Amino acid sequence: MREIVAVQDLKLGMFVAELDRPWLGTPFAIQGFLVEDEEHLAQLRRFCRFVYIDRSRSAGEHWREPAQPQPRMRRRPTLARAGSVGPTVAIHREAMMPDFFTILRLLREGSARNTTARNAPIDTTASHAGASSVPGHVPRIETARYPYEAITDDVEPNTPTVGGGGLFARLAGLFRWDPSEERTAPSGMKSLVATEEPPQVYPVLTSVEEELITVAPVFHEASVAVEKLLHDIQVSATPDLKQVTATVSTLVQSVVRNPDALIWLTRLKRTDQYAFDHALDVSVYLVVFGRFLGLPEATLEMLGTVGLMQDVGLVNLPPDLLHKPGRFTPAEMKVFAGHVQHSVRIMRDRCNLSEEIIETVSRHHERVNGKGYPHGLQGDEIGIYGEMAGLVDSYCALLSQRPYRTALTSQRALEKIYGWRNKKFSETVIDQFIQCLGLYPIGTLVELESGEVAVVIGQNRVRRLKPKLMVLLGPDKTPLKYPSTIDLLFDPPSPTGAPHAIRQALPSDAYGIDPREYFLA
């Protein structure tokens, strides 16, 4: 029950649910708040032109009873189709929505059944312009294991996940406001979205459970499409750009409805990593980041395409270099850096993509301190989209398994990224990305004050420190046969009677949990 109100028309007792700009850089708690005094009004008028208020959470004369939603038929598509090798989950249109754990189990079973089919060889001699991928036959490409540490060039050996102080405490500070501190808008905030129009507000239209049902087959098809794209480029066939465009469009529509479902699906890792895994992950996270910033859907599709295309030039590099397990020598790094120009040339000569996409791809390895490549651009020369693409690329790289270290947890990766502020990326872009994913990103294992262990399955945009959880272990750390879901937004009671609260984040394999059971590895 939200409505837009100009700040000059705000009254005491109204509940402010959303601003016309990101919360970061304003003196307000990210949880939303009730306007209780003239100081609140003055601060809002200083930072905003309009806000969104929630009448159902307002007070006094401004309160309105929530409207009863009209009954509607939910579109519950069957995930399996004739000839499909995707996850097979058949949900009847009138059936009750399964719980999150049931959906996860069905998706996992469907994925396991198709592993053998996906790894079957393909006759690459049939690849040509307009050729379609044979269901169940996956082309292997030589960019399967390129060393992501060469991209981030700042990856350390294993370090424990921080559960309390240190950088974790600094990250938590992004989600709280200390009234004793005067905070002003970051210097780069105005240029973050280069438009005078207010950011687009995307309400969450589906639950994470419902969106998983809808988007699982789409995600599988997107994975196959990206494989085909990279394979065609490798064998010098003409890529099917219509398929790429359709793939990105379907991903964007899912993220617009509810970004949490696709983020969860990106956590399903295959036993043999392919380059398309990384491309698809970057595409999804870029769209999610753009949605958070309120960018229009056309820009989200542009960013999604950037994610898929930004490393296509790797197919032109020597396989021995791509498969090297350790760091590159300076000479090898020079050769590797050339993949950016290869990507640009492929997109211009064979893909007929827009200059905005090509320019963004050409800058995703530039860094604000001027130490990136290929042109050593600095600061604002890189542009917001180039920075976004580079940051998301680095984040996804940190989550990847390497021969000499395990993949970092989402929270540890964010802590590392926090240390890059105004070094590799601007402070504003990094802080916005951290707020986008939340202090407890999707897939993070957490221990509750009750002793129970849960995994984050959904974010709450208004109260970012109170995510939606699936409880996996009881207070005595015994696995639950039927994991339940709880939403901390509503302060559900714990076994002790007190409201549930998160005590700390945990490694993905804490207490003997098998991460593969829950798409965590």
Please list, residue by residue across 218-257, b when 16 or more beta carbons sit within 10 angstroms of its beta carbon and e when fewer do.
Answer: bbbbbbbbbbbbbbbbbeebebbbebbeebbebbbbbbbb
Same domain, yes or no, for 130 and 242?
A: yes
Q: Dump pLDDT digits (tens) for 149-190.
A: 344 444 443 333 334 444 455 555 554 433 333 333 333 333
Q: Is 295 part of any domain?
A: yes
Last residue of a domain, one of 37, 62, 87: 62
Contacts of residue 252, defined as CB under 8 A and 6 or more positions apart, other chains included, come to: 287, 297, 300, 301, 304
Q: Dump pLDDT digits (tens) for 106-163.
A: 776 665 444 434 444 333 333 333 333 333 333 333 333 444 334 444 444 333 333 4
Q: For residue 341, what pLDDT is reported? A: 92
pLDDT band, very low/low/confident/very high, at 423 (cuts 50, 70, 90): very high
Q: Dump pLDDT digits (tens) for 459-508.
A: 887 677 889 999 999 999 998 888 889 999 888 888 888 889 999 888 87
Asked if residue 271 has pLDDT above 70, the reply is no
Last residue of a domain, one of 292, 324, 356: 324
Same domain, yes or no, for 43 and 120?
A: no
Which stretch of 123-137, 238-252, 287-301, 374-388 has the lowest confidence by average pLDDT?
123-137
Q: For residue 104, what pLDDT is reported? A: 78
**355 compared with 73, residue with greater pLDDT:** 355
pLDDT band, very low/low/confident/very high, at 454 (cuts 50, 70, 90): very high
Q: Is 49 part of any domain?
A: yes
Asked if residue 288 has pLDDT above 90, the reply is yes
- What number is the average pLDDT over the span 235-263? 89
Q: For residue 277, what pLDDT is reported? A: 82
**120 compared with 59, residue with greater pLDDT:** 59
Same domain, yes or no, for 230 and 307?
A: yes
Asked if residue 433 has pLDDT above 60, the reply is yes
Same domain, yes or no, for 139 and 217?
A: yes
DSSP-derived secondary structure letter, 67: P
Same domain, yes or no, for 14 and 110?
A: no
Q: Is 82 part of any domain?
A: yes
Mean pLDDT of the chain: 75
Q: Is 124 part of any domain?
A: yes
Q: For residue 305, what pLDDT is reported? A: 94
Structure tokens at 277: 């895994």
Q: Dump pLDDT digits (tens) for 16-51.
A: 887 777 666 677 755 578 888 888 888 888 888 878
* Percent over 90 (pLDDT), the chain: 26
Q: For residue 141, what pLDDT is reported? A: 38
Q: For residue 31, what pLDDT is reported? A: 57
Q: For residue 94, what pLDDT is reported? A: 35
Q: What are phi and psi of 504, to 5 degrees?
A: -165, 160
Number of domains in the chain: 3
- What number is the average pLDDT over the span 271-282? 71
Q: Is 219 part of any domain?
A: yes
Which stretch of 183-192, 388-397, 438-447 has the lowest confidence by average pLDDT?
183-192
Q: For residue 273, what pLDDT is reported? A: 54
In 214-264, which ranges are E strands?
none
pLDDT band, very low/low/confident/very high, at 105 (cuts 50, 70, 90): confident
Q: HSE of 215 in the Cβ direction (CA atoms, 13 Å)? A: 30
Which stretch of 4-13, 69-78, 198-207 has the lowest confidence by average pLDDT?
69-78
Same domain, yes or no, for 210 and 244?
A: yes
Which stretch of 88-97, 190-199, 340-349 has the lowest confidence by average pLDDT?
88-97
156: number of Cβ within 10 Å? 10
Q: Is 254 part of any domain?
A: yes
Asked if residue 101 has pLDDT above 70, the reply is yes
Same domain, yes or no, for 90 and 133?
A: yes
Asked if residue 317 has pLDDT above 90, the reply is no
Same domain, yes or no, for 51 and 92?
A: no
Same domain, yes or no, for 108 and 58?
A: no
Indicate the Cα dihedral angle 354, 437, 284, 455, nearest 10°. Answer: 180
pLDDT band, very low/low/confident/very high, at 86 (cuts 50, 70, 90): very low
Contacts of residue 198, defined as CB under 8 A and 6 or more positions apart, other chains included, come to: 20, 21, 49, 50, 294
Q: For residue 26, what pLDDT is reported? A: 72
Maximum mean pLDDT: which of 1-5, 272-276, 320-324:
320-324
Last residue of a domain, one of 324, 359, 374: 324
Same domain, yes or no, for 457 and 504?
A: yes
Same domain, yes or no, for 54 and 98?
A: no
What pTM value is reported for the model? 0.72
**291 compared with 151, residue with greater pLDDT:** 291
DSSP result, 204-226: --S-HHHHHHHHHHHHHHHHHHH
Same domain, yes or no, for 141 and 7?
A: no
Domain membership of residue 492 as a residue range: 445-518
Contacts of residue 165, defined as CB under 8 A and 6 or more positions apart, other chains included, come to: none
Q: Is 43 part of any domain?
A: yes
Q: For residue 291, what pLDDT is reported? A: 93
Q: Is 23 part of any domain?
A: yes
3-state DSSP assignment of residue 464: coil
